[in-house]
Amino acid sequence: MSDDADTAVERARHERVIIVDENNVEVGIAPRHEMRAKRLPHRATFIFVFDTRGRLLVQKRTDTKDMYPGYFDLAAGGVVAAGESYAESAAREAAEELGIRDTPLVECFEFYYEDEKNRCFGKAFTCTHEGPFSLQPEEVVSAEFRELSEIVDGRIAPVTPDTLEALHRLLRDRKD
């Protein structure tokens, strides 16, 4: 790993994030590494990027990510930092991870996700963007548009479970 990547990973470990209770009420702030180690509930954003043909941008995560390293991510996004709203976090993450700026992000829904490693209250957003993309090398190895059927059928794997759950909710909501 390059010195720049090492520095970025270390900076992310100490990023200060919002900690919430079981009702998504802010109860404090903690360094990201402590939030992960103690599995503290927090807030996160999920930005689903579609092209005009309805394909979803799928990202390959780096092997240095603190959650689900090397998995495919179905959404850009991340942990909401101290002092940020969901919308501010989503705009920051879209710009940092993919270079998406000046593109409207549409708020869709809030949800709760929990597994053996993670407890978060997420807010999903969508946008339409054709690229080009500027990938954040510390977080994203590659990105390409894929058909939703490939994702839903499990032909793309392994997929981050939180983004898969959020995508299923997004698709259900679109049918209603």
Q: Are strands 140-146 and 42-50 parallel, antiparallel or unpaired?
A: unpaired
Q: Which residue ranges make up each domain of the chain?
A: 3-175
CATH node for 3-175: 3.90.79.10
Q: What is the pLDDT of residues 55-94, one digit of tens each?
A: 999 999 999 988 899 999 999 999 999 999 999 999 999 9
Which pLDDT belongs to residue 118?
Answer: 93
> Which runs of E-coded beta strand occur in 32-146?
42-50, 56-61, 72-73, 76-79, 106-114, 119-128, 140-146
pTM of the model: 0.90
CA distance 6 to 73: 21
CA distance 140 to 63: 9
